Amino acid sequence: MEYRYNKLPEMGKEHSRKHLVVLTGAGISVESGLTTFRKSADSMWGKYDFQKLASVGCFQEDPGAVLDFYNMRRRRLLEVEPNHAHNLLVELEKWHDVTVITQNVDNLHERAGSSNVIHLHGELTKVTSSVHRNDPACVRELQLDVPIRMGDKAADGSQLRPYVVWFGEFVNNYEMAARIVRNADVFVVIGTSLTVTPAADLIKCPRYGVPKFIIDPCEPFDPYDDNYPEGYVHIREKATSGIETFIDRMMTL
């Protein structure tokens, strides 16, 4: 695969290997054609009511509608491809140890070739029990072109549901993610509004003095907030161009 960016080979000549930890949100996938969840008319929750489609209560009330919504999202993944930002994170593995912590439920990081991906909000490629969501015996892969149907059973006999974290549920792998961020040599946030907790709290975890970057065209913080995080370099660009700017900055560290 060819890349228009040609500075990556220079990294191995002068720079020691670092542990790069990347927190990604919907903004890294929007350039692949997936919709963000931000509060705008064309966002996911601008078009759909999450209170009716993304909670345990609404699944119990109308499971068919919830499954239809997630089957649509699963099919959509078959129509998109990883973009330049996903691909450059894979290329960075040649020179650095890269851990991707993602809020996204798509599989674009994996399809691009990232070798170490931690999902906080689940994965659309998997299904699980509607009673024991995180029971390993119930979590399994399901082809994206195969819909989840009413009557499909998990290993425990309950109705199958998407392996995603709904509103009101605990996120997956948070303690692991926080520990990894605390041990990062470089921390970069790409394409997230940082409004969904506890994932947003990861920005407080890096050690003092660690280089920290945010790639997003929008201002993710309220500068008047008492918890405004200090020390972040804000690259006000989309993911696909911002990742190149980040690499330029990283080469000077």
119 is catalytic: no
Which position among 84, 121, 132, 234 bears the catalytic label? 121
β-strands 117-119, 19-24 pairing: unpaired
CB under 8 Å to 241, separation ≥6 — which residues? none
Per the CB < 8 A criterion, the answer to whether 127 and 163 are in contact is yes
Sign of CA dihedral 100, 89, 234, 122: negative
> Dihedrals φ, ψ of 55, to 5°?
-150, 160
β-strands 122-129, 140-141 pairing: antiparallel
Looking at residue 36, the DSSP 8-state letter turns out to be P
* Whole-angstrom distance, CA of residue 21 vs CA of residue 186: 6
DSSP conformation letters of 76-99? HHTT----HHHHHHHHHTTTSEEE
- Tokens read off for 24: 């990604």
* Whole-angstrom distance, CA of residue 112 vs CA of residue 89: 9
Dihedral-angle region of residue 231 (phi above 0 means left; psi in -120 to 50 means alpha; beta otherwise)? left
Per the CB < 8 A criterion, the answer to whether 24 and 187 are in contact is no
Q: Which residues are catalytic?
A: 121
